[in-house]
Structure 1
Amino acid sequence: MKLRVLGVLSVLVVALVLLVSNVILSSAGSELTAQLQISRVASLNRIAQLAYDAASEGETAVLKRDMDTYSGLYGEALVVRMQTQTLISGSVDPQRADIRDALARASLNLSDTTLRPLTPFGTETQVISRSFGSASQVLGAVVMDVNVDAAREKLRLRWLSTGAAATMLAIVLLLAAGRVTGWVLRPVQRLGMAVRELKETGRSTKVPEAGPPELRELSRSFTEMATTLGELIESQRQLIADTSHHLRNPIGALRLRVDLLQLELKDAKARAAGDGVLAELERVEEILDSVLKLAVAEHRALEDSLGTKNVEGAAAVDTHVDPAVVLGEEVERAQPAALAAGCILRPVTPEDPGLELKCNRIELAQMIGELLNNAIKYAPGAAITATLRIAAGNTIIEITDTGPGLSTAQLANATTRFWRAEQHATVRGTGMGMTIVEKLATVNGARLNLSANQPHGLRASLTFVTPPGPGETEHRS
């Protein structure tokens, strides 16, 4: 960002310096041209007056002497054309095109005493002319071949001095622009780093208050906001821990009392009522577990990126995990529930394919377990397949089933918390399983994809973007 701002400021500084330099140089050129023109027109008028006197008296000696003196002093040629003769001083050819044209115009009483604006480079001379005579008759013309080399040399010196001054000014302005840019943008860069740190770790160090007053106020406000957010994160963590502790104990005690009460119930109707109470109590326990799991998963995104966790249900550290081993363990753990539901769960061969994932092992097991339990619960009697494969540098863990599956609209809502498909209304559940998996996948650097399995059923895949390692193969069972 600093380079872009400095680039824009540099262009503006250079444009400003060039504009000011152009004005100064144009003024210098106009000033030297005006000075030279005033001096040469005065000399031209004097020579024209001498030429008029000579033409009137018929004596040109004085005129010729003055012409030679002038040419010797200034190195500029003069041509005087009278009715009877033409006088020349200095080195000039009266037949030169510009001299001839100037004499012709002056003979028609068309004087030209204006010099073109000077430029610092070039070797050409300039010609000025005027006629002389009476009010009713032109007696002749005077042409001066003006040598502008001395004026050009002065103009070049002014150009050099102006260029040196402009260069120094540009350097000073660029250095000042760099300092001002750093003064303004350094707090912005610190704020950007603090925002990234807050995003990645859930906390931010105090941002130094520097720069303009507005940025100092912004840094102060950001530090206060980050502090408040950190306190809120800690408060949330503590709330999760307290909820887990204070709700589990009363629910466990209530369940024990219900179990004891059922032992005292003799009537079948009363026992049925007790069974209903126990079923609802189990549902409350299940919802509480799901809410706590979801809270932990959402809280993960606000804590240190893949760091130590202090919440119940979270792992202590994140390590490089062998996904084949974790998948095999979860498939083996889910086999009894699959058999009870009439499902055929194909086990994964527990051979180490040499794969490693940088993720939380317990949370990876939780995600796979949720997907397996979801398939067993909502696709009873179906064939369930667990797959570990590599595709385009990505490690993919895939759970597919041959159950009824979900429609396209239902797939779009499947990760919404507490959402359940209409056809599953009679199946016991909380509607938070896929939401938990999606949150845990996000904080572990993966993404959850739900799609239809062909010819029918559901395909749930966890995709970890990782570079392929040695010995990576596809395992499917």
Structure 2
Amino acid sequence: MLAEVTEENIEKGDLGQLSDVVGDYATRTGGRVVVTDRQGLVLADSDPASRTGISIAAQPDIARALRNRPTVAHGEEALSATMPGSSGTTVRGTLRLTYPMAEVNARVHRIWGALALAGACVLAAVALAAFTLARWITRPLRTLEAATAQLAEGHLANPPDATTGPPELRSLAASFTQTATRLQQLLKAQRAFASEASHQLKTPLTALRLRLENFEPYLDPRAHGSLEEAVGEVERLGCMVQGLLALARRENSATTPEPVDLDTVIADRVAMWEPLAAEQYVALAVTGRPAGRVWAIPGALDQIIDNLIANALRVSPPGTTITLHRVPGAELHVIDQGPGMTESDRARAFDRFWRASDSHHGGTDLGLPIVRHLVHASGGAITLHPAPGTGLDAAVRLRPVTDACSRAGTARPRPRPATAPTP
């Protein structure tokens, strides 16, 4: 464009205007401008120290421009561009524009800096818009997550927000609230049933047992055996009802595990069971290194150990030993010397009301299902293995309380009185 302007001034013979154009451009851009005529004589030069009227036609870039060929060259110190001032094939002069490389680099850096600043502003605006949009979209998800955690604890106090966010998430939050409300109503009704059934079933079962016992003086002695069996079945039915209600209450309650001293619970329960075991000529032994504190829901360890000892005592012959062996890593083994179980029996032992075909004990077959539920609720696991020789090894693995949790100020468990074993 500058070459076209200078060519027009040369054609009109307006050399004074040519000097003004060259000087103004050089002042604004910081470059040096040299203009020649068709013979290569300098007509204007923005450098005040240079002379006009001299010939530079022999210089390579000027010679090429006079032949209507542009030249661009750059070196370590300067960048130059030489253009012909021509109209079609007629060359009326040449224009050389020279910039110091320092000025070129500074300008490039300024342009890149402006582009980088503009890009950063655009990215910041996009990030802000994306963050705002993401917060708007995920807010219902956060409230839904909090509501899910509350529901897992057993009570939904703060339903998820169904008024903000995308329509799909609002619909999901509303559906979750409706489902959670219905679930809470069902759980409440089931807990109420378990509580009422516990009281309603005790009275008729007790009355039935008393009536059967009142028949004894009026029955033929040969029928006393059948009467005792009937009374035993009524007692078993009562124990079964109590076990079912206890299991239902446990399944319907969501309790957070707490740190419990496993060794203390083992010592308490063994002391409670030793007199009953002695009546059957069975010994109780505690072996292994102390297990320390473990995570368990309140009261779970007492019932777990009570049920396992009761099951072991039920099948242990006189003169044998029930061993409670502790293994490092919060693991407890209750080992008896009874007849044991086959592999298929061990696989089904945790099913409700299931009993082995060769089982003749009077239990309710709910002890192991209750134990499994309590162990799982405490975050552990229970498995059955054959004991060395004969017998059964019930292995309970719980989560140990680490030192970090203890230093964090974890509350110690509340002392609880010894509870009677669940049949």
Q: Find the counterpart in structure 1 of residue 35 from structure 2.
A: 78
CA shift at 1:192, angstroms?
Answer: 0.9
* Partner secondary structure for residue 187 of structure 2: helix
The change in CA–CA distance for 1:169 and 1:275 in structure 2 (over 3 A counts) is same
Is 1:143 paired with 2:100? Answer: no
- 1:308-323 alignment runs, 5 A limit: 322-323=264-265
After TM superposition, give the deviation of residue 391 of structure 1 in Å.
1.1
Pair 1:128 & 2:128 matched: no
Q: Choose the corresponding residue for 1:384, options 302, 308, 321.
A: 321
Quick one: structure 1 residues 367 and 78, their matched pair in 2 at CA, closer, same or farther if it must change by over 3 Å? same
Matches within 5 A, 1:41-440: 41-44=4-7, 46-47=9-10, 49=11, 71-75=22-26, 76-80=33-37, 82=39, 87=42, 89-90=44-45, 94=56, 100-101=60-61, 103-104=63-64, 107=67, 110-112=68-70, 124-129=79-84, 142-146=93-97, 167-168=120-121, 170-212=123-165, 214=167, 215-266=169-220, 268=222, 270-300=223-253, 303-305=254-256, 322-336=264-278, 338-339=280-281, 344-348=282-286, 355-356=292-293, 359=296, 362-381=299-318, 383-387=320-324, 389=326, 391-392=328-329, 394=330, 396-424=331-359, 426-440=360-374
Deviation at residue 42 of structure 1 after TM alignment: 3.7
More helix by proportion, 1 or 2? 1
Paired residues of 2:291 and 2:328 also in contact (CA < 8 A): no
The change in CA–CA distance for 1:417 and 1:131 in structure 2 (over 3 A counts) is: same
* Partner Cα separation in structure 2 for residue 409 and residue 112 of structure 1: 96
Q: 1:71 to 1:408 in 2, by over 3 A?
A: same
Shift of 1:194: 1.6
- Judge conservation of contact 1:448–1:462 (CA < 8 Å) in 2: yes
Q: Deviations over 1:336-393 (max 9, x none)?
A: 4642xxxx423449xxx7955564665422221211122233343573333353513x
The answer to whether the 8 Å contact 1:380/1:403 transfers is yes
Q: CA deviation digits over 1:431-467, x for unaligned, max 9? A: 3221110111223444323223234432113333223
Note the residue ranges of structure 2 that are not aligned, 5 or more in a row.
27-32, 407-423
Aligned to 1:20: none
Offset of 1:299 from its aligned partner?
Answer: 2.3
Q: Distance in 2 between matches of 1:442 and 1:337?
A: 33
Q: Secondary structure at the match of 2:398?
A: strand
Q: Could you say if the C-alpha distance between residues 207 and 358 of structure 1 is closer, same or farther in structure 2, counting changes exceeding 3 Å? A: same
Residue of structure 2 in register with 1:18 after alignment: none
Amino acid at match of 1:450: L
The code of the aligned residue for 2:172 comes to L
**CA deviation profile, 1:392-440 (whole Å, cap 9, x unmatched):** 3x2x33211233433444433322223333443x444443221110111
**Counterpart AA for 1:184:** I
Distance verdict in 2 for CA 1:95–1:288, change over 3 Å: farther
Secondary structure of the residue that 1:296 maps to in structure 2? helix
**In structure 2, how many angstroms separate the alpha carbons of the residues matched to 1:338 and 1:440?**
28
Contact 1:258–1:274 (CA<8 Å) still a contact in 2? yes
Equivalent in the alignment of 2:413 = none
Q: What is the identity, as a one-letter code, of the residue corresponding to 2:150?
A: E
Contact 2:205 2:238 in 1 (8 A): yes
Partners of 2:62 and 2:390 in 1: how far apart?
Answer: 103
Secondary structure of 1:125's match?
Answer: strand
How many angstroms does 1:254 deviate by? 0.9
Cα distance in 2 for residues equivalent to 1:299 and 1:73: 90
SS of residue in 2 equivalent to 1:127: strand
Is the Cα–Cα contact under 8 Å of residues 325 and 334 in structure 2 kept in the other structure? no
Partner residue, 2:383: 449
Structure 2 CA distance, aligned partners of 1:244 and 1:468? 40
Q: TM-score normalized by structure 1?
A: 0.65
Q: TM-score, normalised by structure 2?
A: 0.72
Native 8 Å contact 1:346 1:386 kept in 2? yes
Matched letter for residue 309 of structure 2 = L
Could you tell me how far apart the structure 1 residues matched to 2:390 and 2:82 are? Answer: 100
Please say if residues 106 and 131 of structure 1, whose CA atoms lie closer than 8 Å, have aligned partners that are also in contact: no
- CA–CA separation in structure 2 for the residues paired with 1:455 and 1:101: 107
The alignment partner of 1:465 has SS state of coil
User: Where does the alignment leave 5 or more consecutive residues of structure 1 unmatched?
Assistant: 1-36, 51-61, 117-121, 308-317, 471-477
Among candidates 457, 461, 464, match of residue 398 of structure 2: 464
Using the alignment, how far apart are the partners of 2:348 and 2:62 within structure 1? 95
Match of 2:4, as an amino acid?
V
Q: 1:43 to 1:256 in 2, by over 3 A?
A: same
Say how many residue pairs are matched: 383
Taking the aligned partners of 2:291 and 2:157, their CA distance within structure 1 comes to 38
In the TM superposition, residue 228 of structure 1 has moved relative to its aligned partner by: 2.5
Q: What residue in structure 2 maps to residue 58 of structure 1? A: none
Does the 8 Å contact 1:360/1:444 carry over to 2?
Answer: yes
Aligned residue for 1:415, secondary structure, equals coil
